[in-house]
Structure 1
């Protein structure tokens, strides 16, 4: 009996690692096309009025997606749906899924209608600095109205993702964002063939966002049907377990999306700074989102069903093992990514964005913002694992309190730092507030779930930091001959040099991981070897 219990956490850990690999690989593909999308946007719009207006308008439905979709609803729904699958029956769990989809459709339709009508008030609150010139405010309002219905589509996509993840399917939901990127890229090029007006092009880009949402939802539906979810069958909007979902969801609105709320706060404060500040922060944030999505979000997505199963079975020892494994894995991946972004920030920004309307000055200011965002990458990722653990235990109170304090810290730090540091101060405030959030959450989790092996986490983290430091020193030495002046290196040469620097950094880090015998490296290589033998 004891040996069975010992094997179960190991089995869950392997499942988490495997699922994180699937989600990470799919997310990598999506993020690559996301950067192609951002390169297109940077080339066509630069950091001018049209770019600022689109970014500010798109942040609003994107925030609602985090709050009502990937954030509160997904984190509240997955533990309840998992409990229904384990302690109830499969047919009832499927009814819960269908009712949730229908109820979400109704709720988000109301949100979208209110958003379209109240767009002028929302923009004045979110970006008060856009009031002058009036053309900028008018364009932002129009773009907001076009894109607000996107929240309906992406909310349904997020719920489909939660359902499919519990059912053991991770690939399709992770690949779905690729459709949004392709739709936006296609829209920009299609409209640009008929008009050179920045306003017309950005209107077409906003229509591409809606098309992308439709394609993402269409991609999920066949897999739901394959797993037995018959959403066309007659069923009510309400299921008895929806009460539990609702009670969990309401407080998680802030707790699950604190990072996005902080980014929105940064947009609000940046609108009061010189023109282009909103765009600098956006492009820098997009670069941080690359490793955050591949490593942090992938691990959080993979670990939530496992933690929910263990919580439903009251296996708290197993939860401690799974949490510790996920934290060590995330820190092992994000710490070197953080160091790499800091060291290579200027050539990476130049490679991806510096063309067309995105000039050398814009690239430099974006790189400055990236430095301060990147400092918080490890905390952004770790918070997602800790929050998932609380919600798996259906504890919503602690993340809400922590998120509220973190948001308050972000506002105060942002207001204090934006004066002397400009937009860089806002990026630093976001990173520091995420560290505050993580510290509060970890202190409370230590009291609530005392079976976690914190010493193993800290030991792995220390070894990873040493390996990352050696990697940074090697890459810095290599950068001197590769990038004497990033602004003067051509496109293909820059691509080759950045690839060499990144490749060298990865090799050095992996070598140090072997020398230091970092457990996460050994587990990942063992999993890859088993997968190759099976194939």
Structure 2
């Protein structure tokens, strides 16, 4: 890797650290949200109703590609800016804002009217929940999708200008709204209080605050509603495969609801809790790095510098591999402690923790694949190629459906988590092969092969050390009889710390430059 490429990777790493800090705060708040939900709802039928109520709203958000706005909008926006066509870039923004709002409002209104009929079509896919309760909660959450669409566009235009501060507040305010809704309204409304918190949090974090970021850019805002505009048509063409396809996160969110509901009361809730923890890890590393690196990758792609794009992606993926794999294995070894400390209070009992921990372990088995996919897919998206990765991912997701059905019958909820992790690993493998095949020897995967054995050895050492220390500590009579959240936190903290130190020392010994650069920042410098 040349010095300029290394400098760009370091720049991405610096931006990633900023995003990791903000994502860490939002993920911590997200875990607090799940803790409050677990304390009030446990793994009850009422909690199943809350989880099921997101099915229709999330489908609408997916239908309008709200979750993919940055992926499709940023390359188009930056392309116009680099061509010196700033008016054209902002015209595209205005047209997307007006046209998308109109379409989303019509979809939300139709879904709100026909919610009972749509919930009835789900049948036993709502678990042990009451259809009437799912209908009411769904209708409360539905209007939030308009705010999410606004937020997606406002965040995308700020990311295109490498402004991350106010976008980082969106998930904080959203999760804060849910928590406050549950705490202040839950006493009278139960889980419905959380649903009202979803609506308020979406308005505050994705609409109101993000307008402040838009004002800082001083855009020429005008009313534009032109469905024949070439830029809008290009956006639709790039977004269409993301809407029609089954992406990594969307397919997992849908799969656990579809195959988890028939497993009985509490299965949906335990899958949801475990998936939130796994997404927290993926979000902290994969999402943060993906958000920070995408503007850099897009600029290289727009400039036609594919070789540099490959080398930058190589450095990013290698660092991700060496970091996520050992951490995820340590968390697998300590899954019972993690679930107990995070969730066990109120109606979330020791039995609920025992039900959720194995689900978390199997989701964590695929954590690196989930995280790496956020980078690999962005390599394609930077080239404005959304069709190939989504066709490949959809094919893998559809092929995985029999696996979900089979594993859920064999092992219940943990089987669903295992099927999801295997699917993510296959998706990553297929997309990597496609990239190599299309772009020849200029690929970002060579450093991954060089670092894979280092990461695997570090992960095995870290996981083994964590599990060994955990077993040793629980053999102490005082800890074994004092089984509270505090004892689990003590055991998890000591065992996890020992595991991570052991894994880090392995990487240091094997000469991984990333480990040496990290440790040298903390070691005292020689005089």
Aligned match for 1:500, one of 473, 494, 500: 494
Q: Is the 8 A contact 1:96 1:242 kept in 2?
A: yes
Which residue does the alignment assign to 2:21? 25
Asked if 1:56 corresponds to 2:46, the answer is no
Q: Is the 8 A contact 2:248 2:370 kept in 1?
A: no
Which residue does the alignment assign to 2:160? 166
Which residue does the alignment assign to 2:510? 516
Q: SS in structure 1 opposite 2:81?
A: helix
Aligned match for 2:322, one of 315, 332, 338: 332
State the alpha-carbon separation in 2 of the partners of residues 181 and 209 from structure 1: 8
Which residue does the alignment assign to 2:354? 364
Aligned match for 2:449, one of 443, 449, 458: 458
Structure 1 stretches of 4+ moved >6 Å: none
Inter-CA distance 354–313: structure 2 relative to 1 (3 Å threshold): same
Inter-CA distance 70–466: structure 2 relative to 1 (3 Å threshold): farther
* Matched ranges for 1:400-439 at <5 A: 400-439=390-429
Q: SS in structure 2 opposite 1:275?
A: coil
Aligned match for 2:124, one of 102, 120, 128: 128
Q: SS in structure 2 opposite 1:80?
A: helix
Which residue does the alignment assign to 1:215? 204
- The alpha carbon displacement at 1:514 in A equals 1.9
Which residue does the alignment assign to 1:108? 104
- The alpha carbon displacement at 1:463 in A equals 0.8
Inter-CA distance 99–519: structure 2 relative to 1 (3 Å threshold): farther
Q: Is the 8 A contact 2:331 2:364 kept in 1?
A: yes
Which residue does the alignment assign to 1:180? 174
Q: Deviations over 1:125-155 (max 9, x none)?
A: 4463448x7x711111111111011111112
- The alpha carbon displacement at 1:515 in A equals 1.7
Which residue does the alignment assign to 1:471? 462
- The alpha carbon displacement at 1:70 in A equals 5.4
Asked if 1:314 corresponds to 2:310, the answer is no
Q: Is the 8 A contact 1:56 1:127 kept in 2?
A: no
Q: Deviations over 1:457-491 (max 9, x none)?
A: 11112212211211112211211233457895223
Q: Is the 8 A contact 2:241 2:391 kept in 1?
A: no
- The alpha carbon displacement at 1:337 in A equals 2.3
Q: Is the 8 A contact 1:346 1:486 kept in 2?
A: no
- The alpha carbon displacement at 1:107 in A equals 2.1
Inter-CA distance 192–6: structure 2 relative to 1 (3 Å threshold): closer
- The alpha carbon displacement at 1:189 in A equals 1.4
Aligned residue pairs: how many?
518
* Matched ranges for 1:20-419 at <5 A: 20-65=16-61, 68-69=64-65, 71-126=67-122, 128-130=124-126, 136-193=130-187, 195=188, 200-217=189-206, 218-231=208-221, 233-237=222-226, 239-255=229-245, 257-419=247-409
State the alpha-carbon separation in 2 of the partners of residues 399 and 487 from structure 1: 52
Q: Deviations over 1:495-535 (max 9, x none)?
A: 33322333333322222222222133345568x69xxx9xx
Q: Is the 8 A contact 1:186 1:208 kept in 2?
A: yes
Q: Is the 8 A contact 1:460 1:519 kept in 2?
A: no
Identify unmatched segments of 5+ residues in structure 2: none
Query: 426-435 or 82-91, which moves further after superposition?
Result: 82-91
Q: What is the TM-score when the length of structure 2 is the normalising length?
A: 0.92
Inter-CA distance 386–516: structure 2 relative to 1 (3 Å threshold): same
State the alpha-carbon separation in 2 of the partners of residues 127 and 32 from structure 1: 34
Query: 55-64 or 218-227, which moves further after superposition?
Result: 55-64
State the alpha-carbon separation in 2 of the partners of residues 316 and 121 from structure 1: 50
State the alpha-carbon separation in 1 of the partners of residues 160 and 82 from structure 2: 11
State the alpha-carbon separation in 1 of the partners of residues 519 and 118 from structure 2: 49
- The alpha carbon displacement at 1:173 in A equals 1.4
- The alpha carbon displacement at 1:329 in A equals 2.1
Q: SS in structure 2 opposite 1:306?
A: helix
- The alpha carbon displacement at 1:366 in A equals 0.4
State the alpha-carbon separation in 1 of the partners of residues 499 and 220 from structure 2: 49
State the alpha-carbon separation in 1 of the partners of residues 201 and 385 from structure 2: 34
Inter-CA distance 8–224: structure 2 relative to 1 (3 Å threshold): farther
Q: Kindly report the root-mean-square deviation, in angstroms, between the aligned alpha carbons of the 2 structures.
A: 2.4
Q: Is the 8 A contact 2:464 2:499 kept in 1?
A: no
Q: Is the 8 A contact 1:72 1:256 kept in 2?
A: no
Q: Is the 8 A contact 1:123 1:137 kept in 2?
A: yes
- The alpha carbon displacement at 1:105 in A equals 1.6
Q: Deviations over 1:266-290 (max 9, x none)?
A: 2111111111110110000011011
State the alpha-carbon separation in 2 of the partners of residues 18 and 176 from structure 1: 21
State the alpha-carbon separation in 2 of the partners of residues 201 and 90 from structure 1: 49
Q: SS in structure 2 opposite 1:294?
A: helix
Q: SS in structure 2 opposite 1:514?
A: helix
Which residue does the alignment assign to 1:482? 473
